Chains A and B, each alone.
Chain A
Amino acid sequence: METTIKKPSVFTAMGAVFKKEFKIAFRYPTWFISMLIWPILLPLGYVFTAKALSGTDTSSLVSFATLTGTSDYKTYMLIGTVMWSWMNSILWSFGTSLRVEQVRGTLESNWLCPVPKISLLLGYSLFDMIFSIIYIPIIVLEFKLVYNFHFVGSPLLALLVLLVSIPAVYGIGFIFASLVMWVKEANSMVFLVRGMIMVFCGITYPLAVLPNWMRNVSKFIPITYSINALRAVITEGVSVGDIKSEIFILLIFGAVLMTLGLLAFNYTQKRVKSSGSLGQY
Chain B
Amino acid sequence: MLGYAIEVNDLRKEFQVKKKNEHFWKKKNKEKEIFVAVDNINFDVKKGEIFGFLGPNGAGKTTTIKMISTLLRPTSGTIIVNGENVVENPIKALTNIGTVLAGERSTYWKLTGRENLEYFAAMHGITGKKAREKTDYLLKRLELDKRADETVEKYSTGMKQRVALAKALIAEPNILILDEPTSGLDPQSARNLREIILEIKEEGRTIFLTTHYMEEADQLSDRIGIIDHGKIIALDTPQNLKNNLNKTNIINLELDNWTEDVLEKIKEIPAIENVTSKFNENTQNFEVKVHVSNGSETVSNLITSTISSGIKIINFRVEEPTLEDVFINLTGKSLRE
Residues in A lying within 8 Å of B, measured CB to CB: 1-3, 5-9, 12-13, 15-16, 19-20, 23-24, 27-28, 104-106, 108-116, 270, 273-276, 278-279
B4 close to chain A: CB less than 8 A: no
Chain B residues contacting A9 (CB-CB under 8 Å) are: 125
A3 and B174 contacting across the interface, CB-CB below 8 Å: yes
Closest-CB distance, B16 to chain A (whole angstroms) = 7
Chain A residues contacting B16 (CB-CB under 8 Å) are: 275
With beta carbons under 8 angstroms apart, the residue of A3, A106, A111, A114 that contacts B92 is A114
B235 close to chain A: CB less than 8 A: no
Residue pairs across A and B with Cβ atoms less than 8 A apart, 11 shown, are A1-B174, A1-B203, A12-B125, A15-B122, A16-B119, A24-B111, A27-B110, A106-B105, A108-B106, A109-B106, A113-B124
Given contacts A106-B108, A276-B72, 11 further A-B pairs with CB under 8 A are: A3-B171, A6-B95, A12-B122, A12-B127, A13-B123, A20-B119, A27-B111, A109-B107, A114-B91, A274-B72, A276-B63
B69 and A112 contacting across the interface, CB-CB below 8 Å: yes
Complex CA–CA separation, A92 to B72 (angstroms) = 28
A273 and B120 contacting across the interface, CB-CB below 8 Å: no
B101 and A108 contacting across the interface, CB-CB below 8 Å: yes
Closest-CB distance, B91 to chain A (whole angstroms) = 5
Chain A residues contacting B109 (CB-CB under 8 Å) are: 104
Closest-CB distance, A171 to chain B (whole angstroms) = 25
Complex CA–CA separation, A79 to B34 (angstroms) = 53
Complex CA–CA separation, A12 to B122 (angstroms) = 7
Closest-CB distance, B102 to chain A (whole angstroms) = 10
B110 and A113 contacting across the interface, CB-CB below 8 Å: no
* A112 and B71 contact, Cβ closer than 8 Å, known pairs A7-B125, A13-B123, A106-B106: yes
B95 and A5 contacting across the interface, CB-CB below 8 Å: yes
> CB-defined interface of B194-216 with A at 8 Å, one 1/0 digit per residue?
00000000011100000000000
B73 and A273 contacting across the interface, CB-CB below 8 Å: yes
Chain B residues contacting A13 (CB-CB under 8 Å) are: 122-123
With beta carbons under 8 angstroms apart, the residue of B15, B99, B108 that contacts A276 is B15
Complex CA–CA separation, A112 to B173 (angstroms) = 12
* A105 and B125 contact, Cβ closer than 8 Å, known pairs A20-B119, A273-B72: no
Chain B residues contacting A276 (CB-CB under 8 Å) are: 15, 63, 66, 72
Chain B residues contacting A275 (CB-CB under 8 Å) are: 15-16
A113 and B72 contacting across the interface, CB-CB below 8 Å: no
Closest to B110 in A: A24
* A19 and B125 contact, Cβ closer than 8 Å, known pairs A7-B95, A113-B94, A279-B101: no
B window 66-122: CB within 8 A of A: 66, 69-73, 91-92, 94-97, 99, 101, 103, 105-111, 115, 119-120, 122
B172 close to chain A: CB less than 8 A: yes
B167 close to chain A: CB less than 8 A: yes
A115 and B123 contacting across the interface, CB-CB below 8 Å: yes
Closest to B172 in A: A3
Complex CA–CA separation, A276 to B70 (angstroms) = 11
Closest-CB distance, A276 to chain B (whole angstroms) = 5
Closest-CB distance, A100 to chain B (whole angstroms) = 11
Complex CA–CA separation, A19 to B116 (angstroms) = 11
A105 and B105 contacting across the interface, CB-CB below 8 Å: yes
A24 and B172 contacting across the interface, CB-CB below 8 Å: no
A105 and B92 contacting across the interface, CB-CB below 8 Å: no
B108 and A5 contacting across the interface, CB-CB below 8 Å: no
With beta carbons under 8 angstroms apart, the residue of B63, B72, B115 that contacts A20 is B115
Chain B residues contacting A2 (CB-CB under 8 Å) are: 174
Chain B residues contacting A274 (CB-CB under 8 Å) are: 72-73
Closest to A16 in B: B122
Complex CA–CA separation, A13 to B92 (angstroms) = 16
Chain A residues contacting B173 (CB-CB under 8 Å) are: 3, 5
Closest-CB distance, A121 to chain B (whole angstroms) = 14
Nearest 3 A-B pairs (CB), nearest first?
A: A105-B105, A8-B125, A16-B122
Complex CA–CA separation, A104 to B127 (angstroms) = 25
B71 and A273 contacting across the interface, CB-CB below 8 Å: yes
* A23 and B111 contact, Cβ closer than 8 Å, known pairs A108-B71, A276-B15, A276-B66: yes
B92 and A7 contacting across the interface, CB-CB below 8 Å: yes
* A113 and B71 contact, Cβ closer than 8 Å, known pairs A7-B92, A106-B107: no
Closest-CB distance, B46 to chain A (whole angstroms) = 13
Closest-CB distance, A36 to chain B (whole angstroms) = 22
Complex CA–CA separation, A20 to B114 (angstroms) = 12
Closest-CB distance, A19 to chain B (whole angstroms) = 7
Complex CA–CA separation, A19 to B120 (angstroms) = 12
Closest to A274 in B: B73
Chain A residues contacting B127 (CB-CB under 8 Å) are: 12, 16
Closest to B151 in A: A27
Complex CA–CA separation, A20 to B105 (angstroms) = 16
B204 and A1 contacting across the interface, CB-CB below 8 Å: yes
Closest to B101 in A: A108
Closest-CB distance, A115 to chain B (whole angstroms) = 6
Chain A residues contacting B106 (CB-CB under 8 Å) are: 105-106, 108-109
